């Protein structure tokens, strides 16, 4: 293995000196941006791993956990590198690699295979394989395999499910494949990995069985939760969403339609800081619980929440750029780590942005399917595009375009193509199309017509500049 091989796919803007300094200083800002492996131990870690810093000549760098695993390294048991925030690059990049990474994160390879991924991207499977390997050091199969291993670990350590059920719920084709992967990635058997979980197993499993799957949704840097929860509160749609509790300790809950079934998810406003890191470099997590009718939907549900709460962004890069602007500098200083919320269901959000709150409530009451097992005030799903296809005007046109695939808003959608398709719909105005692009597609650099903020100096973070101005009451 050569240095040239291991550099392949790492961030070209992060040289080896910078990467080793991040490892030496245990800098959590780089968690998820790259991984390092130690040849003498056969283990790979996140940059903030608390273990003794390895000698520089023994360190190799990788752009993804999958790349490290494909090179024969197993995950560190102390820092759990498979559980870091996703690379912020995939939020920003609109090219085929960025789109592919978002789709793989949504579970497309598990559901539709590499062929399905390629079709959605408009490339051949060979082209997708080549570009991903060149950029992140691993192809779609290896990336999906790493994700399945992480899902399996979560299920093993938070639920009482039998190992066989977990194997298929995590997306593995066979129990043998599941066992082999867990051994290779974690150097433990599934039974040993389950026993490694902190806390008393009996209590943990009893809680998980009745209260859903508990998860930590990791983020890098500071996270300003209040404005996100304020926005969710203003947008609440009864019967599919609710917000309870007092400011600072609120809980957001909502229903989800997922590929294999349905879910009810909850996220706590009160976050947690990652222990053992320098104060200015802290990351942390939000607590969540997910109830699913089919556990195969876990990866997709987690991805939906991560996009809704904008957990994979890079607040360091965003705040540095926007904080250099005289207008935004005091706003950034007052709210470091402000996020630009996305969507739990992009098709749903597109309809809601077009229809408005009152009309959206009517659509839910008329077309929203009732849950088989309601939970308190949550008892419906937002209607599908198919159900809305006969609605008149622009709403019906939008629903039909979503239903027949003319308009794609999935995580791998081409943002320019999607906005062009939106603006071609009869009656669709430029402002609504831009808002759909910003929220449903998670585009970090949207200038919304009518806002009067198109400053090129704020690129590529104009969506975040807009959020600062909204929270400050200037929009």
89-195: CATH architecture: Orthogonal Bundle (1.10)
The closest alpha carbon to 354, from 296, 308, 402, belongs to 402
Q: Which of 145-159, 231-245, 337-351 has the lowest mean pLDDT?
A: 145-159
How does residue 317 score in pLDDT terms, banded at 50, 70 and 90?
A: very high
What CATH fold (topology level) applies to the domain 212-312?
TATA-Binding Protein (3.30.310)
The closest alpha carbon to 138, from 38, 35, 40, 39, belongs to 35
Contact 448, 457 (CB under 8 A): no
Provide mean pLDDT across the span 260-276.
89
Contacts of 166 (CB under 8 A, 6+ apart): 152, 155, 156, 159, 178, 190, 295
Q: What are residue 258's phi and psi, to 5 degrees?
A: -125, 170
Q: What region, left, alpha or beta, does residue 199 occupy, with left being phi > 0 and alpha being psi -120 to 50 degrees?
A: left
What integer pLDDT is reported at residue 281 of this predicted model? Answer: 53
What integer pLDDT is reported at residue 197 of this predicted model? Answer: 80
d(CA 27, CA 19): 10
Whether 89-195 and 212-312 share one fold: the answer is: no
Contact 108, 117 (CB under 8 A): yes
DSSP labels, 427-459:
T--HHHHHHHHHHHS--S----TTS----GGGT
pLDDT tens by residue, 2-50: 333 344 334 434 588 999 999 999 888 888 889 999 999 999 999 999 9
At residue 329, does pLDDT exceed 80?
A: yes
State in Å, rounded, how far the first CA of the chain is from the last one: 54
**Domain-wise residue ranges, the chain:** 3-83, 89-195, 212-312, 346-441
Percent above pLDDT 70 for the chain: 92
Q: Which of 200-214, 249-263, 311-325, 351-365 has the lowest mean pLDDT?
A: 200-214
Contacts of 352 (CB under 8 A, 6+ apart): 235, 237, 360, 382
What integer pLDDT is reported at residue 256 of this predicted model? Answer: 98
86 vs 290: which has the higher pLDDT: 290
**DSSP state letter for 220:** S
Catalytic residues: 45, 451
What integer pLDDT is reported at residue 222 of this predicted model? Answer: 93
d(CA 368, CA 384): 8
Query: In DSSP terms, which residues pair with 287 in a beta bridge?
Result: 216
What integer pLDDT is reported at residue 322 of this predicted model? Answer: 96
Query: In DSSP terms, which residues pair with 257 in a beta bridge?
Result: 262
Percent above pLDDT 90 for the chain: 78
CATH, domain 346-441, list 1.10.340.30, 2.60.40.10, 3.30.565.10, 1.20.140.10: 1.10.340.30
pLDDT tens by residue, 66-124: 999 999 999 998 899 988 888 787 777 788 999 999 999 999 999 999 999 999 999 99
Average pLDDT score over the chain: 90
Q: What is the CATH number of domain 3-83?
A: 3.40.10.10
At residue 279, does pLDDT exceed 80?
A: no
Q: Angle at which helices 415-423 and 430-440 pack, to 10 degrees?
A: 150
At residue 324, does pLDDT exceed 70?
A: yes
Specify the pTM. Answer: 0.90
* Strands 74-75 vs 43-45: parallel, antiparallel or unpaired: parallel
DSSP labels, 382-420:
PPPHHHHTTS-HHHHHHHHHHHHTSS--STT--HHHHHH
Instruction: Give the Cα-Cα-Cα angle 406, 411, 412 (nearest 5 degrees).
Output: 70
d(CA 250, CA 271): 11
Instruction: Give the Cα-Cα-Cα angle 220, 223, 228 (nearest 5 degrees).
Output: 130
Contacts of 400 (CB under 8 A, 6+ apart): 385, 389, 406
Q: Which of 267-276, 381-390, 420-429 has the lowest mean pLDDT?
A: 267-276
Within 10 Å of residue 248's Cβ, how many Cβ atoms? 10
What integer pLDDT is reported at residue 88 of this predicted model? Answer: 81
Q: In 96-162, which ranges are continuous DSSP H helix?
A: 96-105, 108-121, 125-136, 140-158
Within 10 Å of residue 106's Cβ, how many Cβ atoms? 21
Give the range with max mean pLDDT: 135-149, 154-168, 197-211: 135-149
d(CA 373, CA 250): 24
What integer pLDDT is reported at residue 207 of this predicted model? Answer: 47
400 vs 95: which has the higher pLDDT: 400
d(CA 47, CA 24): 8
What integer pLDDT is reported at residue 14 of this predicted model? Answer: 58
Instruction: Provide the token pair at 353.
Output: 């942005």
Q: What are residue 120's phi and psi, to 5 degrees?
A: -65, -30
What integer pLDDT is reported at residue 202 of this predicted model? Answer: 54
**DSSP state letter for 70:** H
At residue 209, does pLDDT exceed 70?
A: no
d(CA 437, CA 429): 13
What integer pLDDT is reported at residue 2 of this predicted model? Answer: 35
* Strands 262-268 vs 284-292: parallel, antiparallel or unpaired: antiparallel
């Amino acid at each position: 293995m050569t240095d040239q091989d291991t550099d392949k796919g790492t961030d070209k803007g992060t040289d080896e000196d910078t990467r080793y300094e991040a490892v030496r200083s245990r800098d959590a800002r780089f968690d998820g941006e790259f991984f390092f492996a130690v040849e003498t131990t056969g283990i790979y870690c996140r940059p903030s791993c608390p273990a003794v810093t390895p000698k520089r000549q023994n360190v190799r760098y990788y752009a993804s956990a999958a790349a490290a695993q494909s090179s024969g390294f197993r995950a560190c048991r102390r820092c759990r590198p498979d559980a870091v925030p996703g690379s912020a690059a995939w939020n920003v990049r609109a090219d085929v690699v960025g789109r592919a990474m978002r789709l793989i994160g949504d579970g497309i390879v598990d559901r539709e295979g590499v062929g399905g991924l390629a079709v959605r991207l408009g490339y051949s499977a060979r082209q997708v394989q080549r570009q991903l390997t060149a950029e992140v050091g691993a192809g779609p199969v290896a990336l999906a395999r790493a994700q399945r291993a992480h899902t399996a670990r979560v299920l093993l350590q938070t639920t009482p499910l039998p190992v066989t059920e977990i194997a298929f719920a995590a997306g593995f084709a066979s129990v043998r494949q599941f066992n082999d992967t867990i051994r290779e990635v974690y150097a433990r058997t599934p039974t040993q990995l389950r026993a490694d979980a902190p806390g008393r197993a009996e209590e943990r499993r009893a809680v998980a069985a009745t209260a859903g799957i508990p998860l930590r949704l990791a983020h890098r840097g500071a996270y300003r939760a209040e404005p996100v929860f304020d926005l969710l509160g203003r947008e609440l749609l009864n019967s599919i969403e609710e917000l309870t509790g007092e400011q600072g300790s609120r809980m957001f809950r909502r229903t989800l339609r997922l590929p294999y079934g349905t879910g009810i998810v909850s996220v706590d406003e009160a976050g947690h800081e990652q222990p053992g890191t320098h104060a200015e470099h802290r990351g942390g997590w939000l607590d969540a619980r997910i109830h699913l009718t089919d556990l195969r939907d876990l990866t997709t549900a987690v991805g939906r929440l991560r996009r809704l709460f904008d957990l994979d962004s890079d607040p360091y890069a965003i705040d540095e750029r926007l904080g250099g602007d005289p207008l935004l500098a005091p706003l950034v200083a007052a709210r470091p780590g402000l996020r630009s919320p996305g969507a739990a269901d992009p098709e749903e959000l597109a309809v809601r942005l077009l229809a408005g709150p009152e009309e959206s409530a009517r659509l839910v009451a008329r077309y929203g399917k009732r849950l088989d097992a309601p939970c308190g005030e949550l008892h419906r799903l937002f209607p599908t595009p198919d159900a809305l296809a006969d609605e008149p005007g622009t709403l019906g046109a939008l629903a039909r375009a979503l239903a027949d695939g003319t308009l794609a808003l999935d995580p791998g959608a081409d943002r320019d193509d999607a906005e062009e398709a939106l603006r071609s719909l009869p009656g669709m105005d430029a402002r609504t199309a831009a808002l759909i692009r910003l929220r449903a597609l998670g585009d970090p650099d949207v200038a919304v017509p009518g806002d009067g903020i198109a400053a090129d100096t704020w690129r590529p973070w104009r969506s975040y500049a807009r959020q600062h101005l909204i929270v400050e009451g200037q929009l």
